[in-house]
Homo-oligomer: A and B are copies of this chain.
């Protein structure tokens, strides 16, 4: 039910941090969009219709993927008629990168090899409730 776009201008007002990070990851969760980000990263300059050739999908489909990336704030589109110039917005990727960095840091310090496993705490799940 959450419609998390419809406004690509606001800096995505702080929802719950989980939803914020998840939105970034979700926008990156498709091979074609990863491909597009890779292209923008590689070519450093924005490109227009060349993206369509590269990813090998229909123009309307690529446009849709670009819309999703723009809606997530990962990519910005500057109009430079008759083309549109796309570029990356690294700032937007920072929350996700920070989380991943924390995990990898934790690994580097060996803090994640959990040996203290599952203290004997009881769960409050009623699987047998409401049984007449």
Q: Chain A interface (Cβ within 8 Å of chain B)?
A: 16, 18-19, 21-23, 25-35, 37-38, 41, 44-50, 52-53, 59, 78, 80, 83, 85, 87-88, 90-91, 93-94, 96-97, 99-104, 106-107, 111-118, 121, 123-125, 127
Contacts and interface: CB of A to CB of B under 8 A. Distances in A.
Contacts of A80: 117-118
Total copies of the chain = 2
A1 B88 CA distance: 29
B45 A18 contact: no
A80 B16 CA distance: 33
Nearest to A26: B29
Given A90-B103, A97-B100, A121-B50, A22 B29 contact: yes
Given A22-B30, A29-B26, A111-B44, A88 B103 contact: yes
Contact of A88 (B18, B31, B93, B112): B112
A13 B111 CA distance: 27
Contacts of A101: 97
A46 B96 CA distance: 22
Contacts of A96: 28, 100
Contact of A26 (B30, B41, B111): B30
